[in-house]
Structure 1
Amino acid sequence: MNLLDVRNLSIELLTNNKPILAVDKVSLTIKEGEVRGLVGESGSGKSLLAQAIMGVLDEKWHVDADRFHWRGNDLMRLSAEERKSIISNDVAMIFQEPMACLDPTATIGEQLEEAVDQQQFEGFFWKKRQQRKLEAINLLHKVGIKNHIQCLKSYPHQLTEALCQRVMIAMALAKKPLLLIADEPTAAMESTNQGQIFRLLASLNQLKNMSILLISHDLENVTHWTNTITVMYSGQFVEAGTTDQIFKQPFHPYTRALIDSSPTANIHIPTKSRLMTLPGSIPVLQHLPIGCRLGPRCPRAQRECVNSPKAKNHQGHQVSCHFSLKGSY
């Protein structure tokens, strides 16, 4: 069963002039117990898409979709407030910079206890206070923080970034979510800490059957932890399929370029050789190309690419490209 089924979701930035289409008809589905990667360069619209799903974008953004189903319920028939209320009960999100998301004026214990749902406790208020503290300690243990006494009385600036990220995951788990959205959860971390966070997320998926949307710009890293992958570029859908399909047999030139820029996929090339890269950089919102937005950088671009390509399905492997690499394999 699909937990989340979003079809043709578009996000416009409302400006004084004409609106800017930041995300252009992107579709995304997540099943129960699935770990899906959402991959693309910085500026691809990954975080914007996640925030639109959570309903936390402000008034300058306009969100529209052909379908927005959560557990089979059509949320597009509800108001934005009702939609946000339903999603916030079942979906939790951890952001890129945990230090910036935690309150610097409150201890970790105060913030974690505030995140715990008080409706699960019974008895007088002093009993609930003790139960809430025990639940906060239990959550810290779940995310691998053993020294809970020191952590609970610390302020965010007194902890390392890796510990703050674990605290953010603990606060997300306090809601017992069905879906956890992890937006670049290991950004700027050392490789050791990255592995610990990814293993923690994998264990939550296996033990709690929690679905996870893992957002990253690093395709190679995501392949070790995901079942399926969706690739985005400049706010447009590029390709989606199983992790093996995407990494071993990509159909889109952009996905191929991401893989070619990975050292693991190029172990055969001589030492100190340059990795393959696409020329140019991702376009800014004020100067988006018409049609396929990869066109100015794409090695296979032709005249037809000034028209937006439609997604094609090849036995569950979807690609949005006029001149895909499917015939090259």
Structure 2
Amino acid sequence: MPLLDIRNLTIELDTPHGRVKALERVSLTINPGELHGLVGESGSGRSLLARAILGVPGHNWTITADRMMWDGQNLMEMSTKQRRNLMGSEIAMIFQDPTSSLDPAISVGSQIIEAMPIDKSLPFWKRGKVRKKNAEKWLHKVGIKNTDKVMESYAWELSEGECQKVMIAMAVANQPRLLIADEPTDSMELSTQAQIFRLLSKLNQLQNVSILLISHELETLSGWCDQLTVLYCGQVMESGPTSELIAQPFHPYTKALVENAPDYSGELPHKSMMQTLPGSAPALQHLPIGCRLGPRCPQAQKKCVGQPSLCHKKDRYFACHFPYHNESCNDDTSS
């Protein structure tokens, strides 16, 4: 049974320009112990999807879905209290903006200790000391050397990179069943990024923690993730095993991401132009009908004004009327 199973999730936002579909018929499946990557450029709706899973929607959101299951339980039918009980204990999230996620009036150490589970097998007079040691241990694992100083500091006294490490420590200390990491290494140096990814990989392999890793860098996700989902402008373009998706992409957008990745093997002429997909992602107020990649797609034809169904081919999913390699979903049922 999948740990998380989402089918045709749609998120509509009420804006001054009317109601817009920020996410449209998005499907996502994460199995126990899976490291799943979610790639997409800015504005593709990655963070909205993560917040919908966590159960922290905005005040102007309208969420509908055919199915939104967590370990056999229907998330859409849960009360606010039940969803809150899942947060932190079974589902944890590393937010993209760490500074705004920490309380500026409480020390960092107090916030980490408060977020950690209580070991009721210990006598009550030992619990505080043990939890403090565990908090220092997790801070050290995410790359913080002066743990005593950071524990006593407030969020506004730390750099953005240190706040991000604190958020990661708080999320992984509970050892949740699903960890959603939204750009977890965005403000870190390269050596620390590798350390964080190794930590997440160890959690996945040794503790069987499922991880949804969100990023706009295909190169990063392809090196760490088992499964990959490509999101563009609120629609799923393609999903499947990372190695197969990189080696033989079906969707034009996935193919463009793979082909336009920087090639460091050869020498680039000075000030040479990087290959990119023509055009830019549309604003939410001016979304094209049908496939949202249509105005930029090299394969686009008249049929693309109708939204393609998410087609299933073995363990691959893609949403395109004219995919590469002559793939079609005529012989399979669409999800």
What TM-score does the superposition give when structure 2 sets the normalisation length? 0.90
Aligned-pair CA distance for 1:231: 0.4
Does the 8 Å CA contact 2:116/2:170 hold for their aligned counterparts?
yes
CA contact (8 A) 2:17 2:285 kept: no
Residues 240-282 of structure 1, C-alpha deviations (whole Å, 9 max, x = no match): 0111111111111111111122113x84686455332111111
CA distance in 2, matches of 1:182, 1:62: 24
Residues 294 and 300, structure 2, Cα contact 8 Å, conserved in 1: yes
The aligned amino acid for 2:86 is: I
Distance (whole Å) between structure 2 residues aligned to residue 311 and residue 290 of structure 1: 16
Contact 1:121/1:131 (8 A) holds in 2? no
Counterpart contact for 1:4–1:30, Cα < 8 Å = yes
Say which SS state the counterpart of residue 187 (structure 1) adopts: coil
CA contact (8 A) 2:119 2:127 kept: no
- 2:285 corresponding residue in structure 1: 286
Letter in 1 for 2:2: N
Q: 1:1-329 counterparts in 2 under 5 A? A: 1-15=1-15, 18-118=18-118, 120=120, 122-124=122-124, 126-264=125-263, 267=265, 271-272=269-270, 273-327=272-326
1:89 shift after superposition: 3.0
- 8 Å contact 1:121–1:128 — kept in the other structure? no
| Counterpart Cα distance in 1 of 2:292 and 2:265 | 30
- 1-structure distance, mates of 2:153, 2:206: 29
Letter in 2 for 1:143: V
- The 3 A distance-change label for structure 1 pair 34 and 22 is same
Which letter does structure 1 place at the counterpart of 2:10? S
Q: Give, in angstroms, the shift of residue 87 of structure 1.
A: 4.8
Would the alpha carbon gap of residues 207 and 159 (structure 1) be closer, same or farther in structure 2, given more than 3 Å must change?
farther
Match for 1:231: what amino acid?
Answer: V
1:154-197 Cα shifts (integer Å, max 9, x gaps): 23344444332221111112332101000011113332222222
Residue identity in the other structure for 1:297:
R
Which range is displaced more, 275-284 or 150-159?
A: 150-159
C-alpha change, 1:121 and 1:107, in structure 2 (3 Å) is farther
Q: Alpha-carbon deviation of 1:133?
A: 1.8
Summarize the Cα distance change of 1:17–1:157 in structure 2 as closer, same or farther, 3 Å threshold: closer
Q: CA–CA distance in 1 between the matches of 2:7 and 2:88? A: 20
State which drifts further: 104-113 or 302-311: 104-113
Alignment check: 8 A CA contact 1:54 1:88 kept: no
The 1-side partners of 2:132 and 2:257 are apart by 45
**Structure 1 vs Structure 2: percent identity of aligned residues?**
51
8 Å CA contact 2:161–2:187 kept in 1: the answer is no
**Structure 1 stretch displaced more, 223-232 or 276-285:** 276-285
Alpha-carbon deviations, 1:38-96, whole Å to 9, x = none?
A: 00110000000000110111221111111111112222233344334335531000011
Return the offset for 1:287: 0.7
* Counterpart AA for 1:117: P
Deviation per CA, 1:85-134: give whole Å up to 9, x if none: 3355310000112233222333221111121223646434x443323323
Once the two structures are TM-superposed, the CA of residue 8 in structure 1 deviates from its matched residue by 0.6
Report the residue type matching 1:220 in the other structure.
Answer: E
Alignment: residue pair count: 326
- Structure 1-normalised TM-score? 0.91
Structure 1 segments unaligned to the other structure (5+ residues):
none
Gaps of at least 5 residues in structure 2 are 328-335
Deviates more, 1:182-191 or 1:131-140: 131-140
What is the alpha-carbon distance in structure 2 between the residues aligned to residue 55 and residue 7 of structure 1?
16
